[in-house]
Homo-oligomer: A and B are copies of this chain.
Amino acid sequence: MGTTQLETVPEPKYWHLKTVLSEALESEFSVGEILPNERDLAARFGVARATLRQALEQLELEGRLQRRRGVGTTVAPPRVGVAVGTEQHAWPGAGNDVWQAVDCAVAAPPAAVSAVLETGREEAVYTVRRSRVSHGQPVAAELLYIPASSVPELSAIDAPSGPARARAVLRELQRLELEGQESAVELGSARADDAKELDRLPGAPVLVVTTRFLADGRTAALSVATYRADTCRLTFGDSGGVEIHQDPERRAS
């Protein structure tokens, strides 16, 4: 394969190609525009298709490109800052909560969740599913695990499932005094159901935010929220967040 332009560069070829592609995206393409197909791109930059694909994957990781089945590769809009509250502690569903309750089920949670909630191995807990939309786009899906002991007065007369039931569970939870909350963010891959809700393919990279809500000296509720990693920047702190995204030119500094 002809690789004339890139042969003398000491860094990996796809890495240099990424920088070149990144500049081309900036100067020649607008947001939402569909890129030429891989064969044409590889020919234009004089690289093997495997090299091109690696560079495209990098740019996808960095949120510069989006690959959609049946559409092709498009230039991504800048990532959206999504506030993840850690400063003002509040129960899910309280105050100006941005999440929408979707459903509520009663089921035995995964073992790792039981361990945190200190419930028995097969003990069923309320499992509230919620979703979060930002700028008209689904950005996150959440499973909220609440043991029966956290909502002892919950009336069984309500709807057995659905959003109304979910809201009833959250209202009961809010009767407890919230003593604190802790969150963690890590990289994960989208499960099939979350992927569908987030309009992604299963296995797409996601940011998983786990939040433990503390009351009566124990974990009264546990939230596992899955954010789209391609379109979201999670913001923490005083205001709307930092308006800077990872810059491809940064490496030049």
By a beta-carbon cutoff of 8 Å, the part of chain A in contact with chain B is 11-12, 14-15, 18, 54, 57-58, 61-63, 79, 81, 86-87, 107-113, 115-116, 127, 143, 180-189, 191-193, 202-203, 205, 207-208, 210-212, 214, 222, 224, 229-230, 232-239, 241-247, 249-253
Contact = CB atoms under 8 A, between A and B. Distances in A.
Contact of A203 (B58, B205, B233): B58
Give the dominant DSSP class at A's interface. Answer: mixed
A187 B187 contact: yes
Q: How many copies does the complex hold?
A: 2
A251 B15 contact: no
A188 B244 contact: no
Given A62-B188, A184-B233, A184-B242, 9 more contacts: A61-B189, A143-B250, A181-B237, A182-B238, A186-B234, A186-B245, A187-B207, A191-B251, A222-B242
A180 B186 CA distance: 25
Contact of A205 (B18, B184, B205, B212): B205
